[in-house]
Structure 1
Amino acid sequence: MNIKQIIIFLIFTTSLVSEDQFNTRFNYFGNLSASKLSSSGFYLNNYSHDSVSSDLSLTPYSKAGAQISINNNNFTFTAQGLIRKENDNYKVELTWLNLKYDIDDNFAIRGGRIQTKMLLHSESLDIDYLQLWAKPPVEVYNLMPIRTYDGIELIYDKTFNDYTLSISAVGLASFSDNINGSIEEVVIDVDDSHSFALELSSDMFKYKASYTKSKVNIEDDATTKTIVNGLSAYGNDMDRFTYENRTISVYSLGFQFRNNDFTLDSEIAYSQTNSLLASSIGAYMMVGYKINDFTPYIMYAENQNDKSHYDTSSIKTSDATSKALKRKLDDLLYLGNFSQSTASLGVRYDIKIGMALKMQIDRMSSTNYGSISSSTVQSVGYEKFGVISRESGTEDKDIYAFNVSFCFAY
């Protein structure tokens, strides 16, 4: 969103707030977080903010945000913005900017910028105070191709007995953003995104299922284009070894249980794609128990890429040039594998309503498929990319991540 659009939005919001017939609610939230890794030579990447390294840093997970909601009869206007520091610069994001119209007691339609409902915590992921964990399991939450989109959403809500049924359908949604790639910043374009989410909830239970299909485009770098075009010239079908104009489908199931002091969250998600990025399945389970103002919790998460994606034995090579290109393709696949598991131990301390302290320790293990050539390691300076990156010459081992945060929401 450019400056002109923001100014128009501010003028529009100010005019609405000044009207007496409008009900206005303003909320603000934030997270001040310190994080580091146990070993040098490793980096924990999220692609939407600074990476975590062995140096203690406040920037990767710290942020501040505000939300304004303006209601008049059947119309509700919502805007939410975030600010965080990224690569020595401050980045501002508009994560909500939409207008909702309640058609009747059950049906509503919403248009504008909206956060996806794909996973249990998708809509509230930026408000850290609402989550038990200090940071979410990337094994599942990194499978979302987008977290926000510009589009139209049709909503159905129905309460019967002690349960509420919520159904959401989105069509022709789109979004574009700059993300931190393995080497440099890249642009991701998502178009023609369709999604369907179903949720059944009560005071204690929540069941959620969703399906999202999107067209995703990330321009291939020069190395990838050289490999794909070169091996194609030898008669190989290289269609799946590109990031450009690909289709990603994500299926998810989630379950949440709350009973007095006991908490259980569990989700599984499967990302299916025909791109250089492998299809992947991720899952986690978190269990917590509140003791006075303290809530200790444990969590285990795992992600496995489709191992068959890394089998390039069917690619034909007839000379030294084609063999060298195939070797570089195997290196790219090895570098981009993000299969991993994380065992977490944490505790949350509720200072008062609206304020909490959290601490979380993660033990992370990565899984490798295939091997990488020494020439590629020397040229890129890394032996592994993905969620966990490892510099060349760094021992492949389990690492620990430490996070302490203060969060608030009012």
Structure 2
Amino acid sequence: MRIISCTPALLFILITSTYSAFAEVSINGFASIRATSSDQDGDTPAHQGIEGNGELSFKDESLFALQARADMGDGLSATIQIVAEGKNNFNLEASRAYISYELTPNHRISAGRFANPLFYQSEFENVGYAYNFARLPKSVYQPFEFNTIDGITLDSDFTFGQYALTTKILYGSWEGDFFEPLTGETNSFGLDDIVSLRANFSGGWWNIYGGVIFNVLDGGEVDTDVIFAAAQPAIDFAISQGATDVEVDNFLNAIKYTGKDGRYSYLGFNIDKNDILIDFEITRYGIKDSVDVFNQVWYASLGYRVTPEITILVHTEEFTQDNVEDKFLSKVNNQILFDTGIAFAEAFREYEFKGSGVTLRHDFHPNAALKVDYFLGEDSRTDVGDFSIWSVGIDLIF
């Protein structure tokens, strides 16, 4: 019996049954049932969570979710969302659980667990029906482990004639397990003092948006079991050649994650005019003064609404990384350790890819859309190489 995996379901039932006695409870949900096949030149899948063995999978990109909202009146409400993803064997997870209070008709404060608003569509990236892509571009919307935040938010809405502005301010933290693609291992990791600021400005057929996130890292086992462990042979050799304790400490402080500042930012726009659809988003993120260089990624798409029910979309995307700089090693004077730090940074930047695809969307039902997608890409990792992904599936809301 899976007690842990059932806990969110029990919590969901408890909240809905308890509050239904004295509050108006609304329940809705969304789902994606998708058949996906991915293949590549090498032995490693191009994207985490999508198996790259060329076989057809109905689990990799399928999911089901339920959300319950209890309106207790006088501006107070409670919300919980549980999600079961095929890639996690459909084990249930509480992705959102928070209470909200309406300060004014234009301002709402909430506390609890939220979707991490890393980028523009991060808060609803699991709701496939909400966008025309079969999957949001992986260059930007990778499966980050820290996709939730425990904290507090302030949401605000403003209108200026025919224009609308929405903003969100968030403060919180995250702790959990982090998958390191370079080692294939999962280790504990954390983000503290997360501050997120985002804004969305729209005017009818156009929309522009942007946001930033600041945080302080807690390296956890990623520091001790991955970075420090990999560096130990070089440290031992440096000590044998006369490296001092101070030089070793300076080196460890340079390559560790703990205490370093993370930065995430994004900017983009979308257009929907005369059945022509344009989307563009560019993001930049990384960890300051660390072995992990900054990433600059983007995607663009051009679509046409052939009929009210049928949309064709062509899209392209790219994930690139900055060149390695030695600024983070400014206090490392030992040449052996300095060279080791540079080698670490080079290893961390070996992951780049680009690709293009085409998607057909058919809204065959007011609440459901059939999507067919084909994507071709090129990955810089030698154990990946050229890759392809095709899928067919249904996204729905209820």
Give TM-score scaled by structure 1 length: 0.81
Please name the residue that 1:263 is paired with.
Answer: 277
Please name the residue that 2:205 is paired with.
Answer: 204
Please name the residue that 2:372 is paired with.
Answer: 359
> How many angstroms apart in 2 are the aligned matches of 1:159 and 1:148?
29
> How many angstroms apart in 1 are the aligned matches of 2:257 and 2:59?
29
Aligned partner of residue 324 in structure 2, secondary structure: helix
Deviations 1:47-67 (A, max 9, x none): 5x4544322222221111111
Q: Match of 1:344, as an amino acid? A: G
List aligned pairs for 1:7-406, cutoff 5 A. Answer: 7=10, 10-19=13-22, 22-39=23-40, 41-44=42-45, 46-47=47-48, 49=49, 51-71=51-71, 72-86=73-87, 89-142=89-142, 146-171=146-171, 173-182=172-181, 183-218=184-219, 219-220=221-222, 222=225, 224-229=227-232, 230-231=234-235, 233=239, 234=243, 235=247, 237-238=250-251, 239-274=253-288, 275-292=290-307, 293-309=309-325, 322=336, 330=343, 333-334=346-347, 337-367=350-380, 384=381, 391=383, 397-406=385-394
Change over 3 Å in CA distance of 1:276–1:91 after alignment to 2:
farther
> How many angstroms apart in 2 are the aligned matches of 1:200 and 1:297?
24
> How many angstroms apart in 2 are the aligned matches of 1:222 and 1:177?
15
Q: Which runs of 5+ in 2 are unaligned?
A: none
Aligned partner of residue 13 in structure 1, secondary structure: helix
Does the CA contact (< 8 Å) of 1:312 and 1:330 recur in 2? no
Alpha-carbon offset, residue 126 of structure 1: 0.8
The answer to which of 291-300 and 114-123 deviates more is: 114-123
Alpha-carbon offset, residue 241 of structure 1: 2.6
Alpha-carbon offset, residue 362 of structure 1: 1.5
Aligned partner of residue 103 in structure 1, secondary structure: strand
Alpha-carbon offset, residue 132 of structure 1: 0.6
Does the CA contact (< 8 Å) of 2:84 and 2:90 recur in 1? yes
Aligned partner of residue 17 in structure 2, secondary structure: helix
Does the CA contact (< 8 Å) of 2:63 and 2:90 recur in 1? no
> How many angstroms apart in 2 are the aligned matches of 1:343 and 1:199?
27
Change over 3 Å in CA distance of 1:311–1:249 after alignment to 2:
closer
Q: Match of 1:277, as an amino acid? A: D
Alpha-carbon offset, residue 327 of structure 1: 6.7
Please name the residue that 1:387 is paired with.
Answer: none
Q: Match of 1:257, as an amino acid? A: I
Alpha-carbon offset, residue 285 of structure 1: 0.8
Deviations 1:113-163 (A, max 9, x none): 112334221221111111110111121223967322110001221122112
Please name the residue that 1:408 is paired with.
Answer: 396
Aligned residues: 376
Alignment identity in percent?
Answer: 18
Q: Match of 2:370, as an amino acid? A: L
Alpha-carbon offset, residue 328 of structure 1: 9.7
Q: Match of 2:42, as an amino acid? A: G
Q: Which runs of 5+ in 1 are unaligned?
A: 368-383, 385-389
Does the CA contact (< 8 Å) of 1:144 and 1:250 recur in 2? no
Alpha-carbon offset, residue 305 of structure 1: 0.8
Does the CA contact (< 8 Å) of 2:359 and 2:371 recur in 1? yes
Q: Match of 2:24, as an amino acid? A: N
Does the CA contact (< 8 Å) of 1:50 and 1:59 recur in 2? no
> How many angstroms apart in 1 are the aligned matches of 2:81 and 2:281?
26
> How many angstroms apart in 1 are the aligned matches of 2:367 and 2:326?
47
Alpha-carbon offset, residue 280 of structure 1: 0.9
Alpha-carbon offset, residue 74 of structure 1: 0.9
Task: Provide the aligned C-alpha RMSD in A.
Answer: 3.1
Does the CA contact (< 8 Å) of 1:207 and 1:255 recur in 2? yes
> How many angstroms apart in 2 are the aligned matches of 1:177 and 1:45?
24
Q: Match of 1:74, as an amino acid? A: G
> How many angstroms apart in 1 are the aligned matches of 2:322 and 2:62?
33
Aligned partner of residue 16 in structure 2, secondary structure: helix
Does the CA contact (< 8 Å) of 2:40 and 2:385 recur in 1? no
> How many angstroms apart in 1 are the aligned matches of 2:56 and 2:367?
26
Alpha-carbon offset, residue 266 of structure 1: 0.8
Aligned partner of residue 14 in structure 2, secondary structure: helix
Aligned partner of residue 187 in structure 2, secondary structure: strand
> How many angstroms apart in 1 are the aligned matches of 2:277 and 2:97?
32
